[in-house]
């Protein structure tokens, strides 16, 4: 039985397949793989926990009933004691079978829980990778936008300046220790191919650096410093 076929079963039918395969020595490998498949594992965990809880309730109820029966039998003297002891072997055998089933369900819970954690970690890793790739694309696009302004020598608006500055403010975790690394550093060392640096590239890099350099004068706080470079304007006026 594959995962898709198992998913079509009712909870009762699913439980039957699960309990028939929860004991490893009697397990069908294909059926168990379908049970712990990412599409079925959450349902499997819910069902096996219910099985475990029901079995625990049965054990408690039978113990209470057996204790009450013992008191009743002993209250009737020798005849009652004989009845009690005559049923003892069967009651003990039933208790052992139920307790064994209960223990197997408990071990299956632990096994399914571990498999579920592995699935969750894998899914979280994939999601984190997708988010990181989205951030990479966005950062590279912002960097390309800044480089385009630097090449064209065009006037940058305040919104442009604030956008470029994010590359120096935002970080992503990097390496085994998850060290925070600025987006611009990620671009420089990890997120784009290394090419020979031409004089034009060097000039553009210097222009980009000026665009994000030291704080601008208060009188021009809404305008990037780069827009005033060699444009003939009298900044003191």
pLDDT for residue 146: 82
Per-residue pLDDT averaged across 152-159, rounded?
79
Per-residue pLDDT averaged across 215-237, rounded?
41
Rounded percentage of the chain residues whose pLDDT exceeds 90: 43
Helix axes 11-21, 78-152, angle to 10 degrees: 100
Q: Which two tokens stand for residue 18?
A: 């699960």
Buried b (16+ CB within 10 A) or exposed e, 145-176: ebbebbeeeeebeeebbeebbebeeeebeeee
Q: DSSP letter at 27?
A: -
More confident residue, 182 or 221: 182
Q: Distance of CA 191 to CAs 141, 177, 198, Å? A: 11, 19, 20
pLDDT per residue as tens digits for the range 64-108: 999 999 999 999 999 999 999 999 999 999 999 999 999 999 999
The model's pTM:
0.54
Per-residue pLDDT averaged across 133-156, rounded?
80
pLDDT for residue 67: 94
Q: Distance of CA 222 to CAs 144, 158, 214, 233, Å? A: 22, 6, 14, 16
More confident residue, 224 or 114: 114
Q: Which of 49, 62, 38 is nearest to 15 (CA)?
A: 49
Q: Is 163 helix (H, G, I), strand (E, B) or coil?
A: helix
pLDDT for residue 224: 41
Domains of the chain by residue range: 3-126, 131-225
Please give the Cα distance from 226 to 228 (Å, whole number): 5
pLDDT for residue 231: 45
pLDDT per residue as tens digits for the range 22-61: 999 999 999 999 999 988 999 999 999 999 999 999 999 9
pLDDT for residue 211: 53
């Amino acid at each position: 039985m594959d995962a898709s076929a198992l998913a079509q079963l009712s909870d009762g039918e699913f439980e039957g397949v699960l309990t028939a395969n929860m004991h490893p020595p009697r397990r069908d490998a294909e059926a168990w793989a379908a049970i712990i498949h990412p599409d079925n594992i959450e349902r499997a965990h819910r069902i096996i926990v219910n099985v475990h809880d029901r079995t625990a309730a049965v054990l408690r109820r039978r113990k209470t009933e057996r204790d009450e029966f013992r008191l009743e039998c002993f209250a009737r003297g020798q005849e009652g004691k004989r009845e009690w002891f005559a049923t003892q072997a069967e009651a003990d055998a039933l208790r052992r079978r139920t307790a064994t089933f209960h223990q197997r369900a408990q071990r299956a819970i632990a096994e399914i829980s571990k498999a579920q954690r592995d699935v969750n970690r894998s899914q979280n890793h994939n999601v984190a990778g997708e988010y990181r790739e989205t951030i990479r694309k966005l950062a590279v696009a912002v960097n390309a936008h800044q480089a385009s302004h630097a090449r064209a020598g065009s006037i940058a608006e305040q919104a442009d300046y604030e956008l470029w500055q994010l590359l120096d403010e935002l970080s992503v975790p990097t390496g085994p220790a998850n060290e925070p690394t600025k987006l611009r550093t990620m671009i420089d060392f990890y997120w784009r191919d290394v090419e020979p640096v031409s004089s034009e590239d060097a000039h553009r890099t210097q222009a980009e650096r000026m665009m994000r350099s030291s704080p601008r004068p208060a009188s021009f706080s809404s305008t990037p410093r780069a827009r005033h470079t060699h444009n003939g304007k009298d900044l003191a006026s």
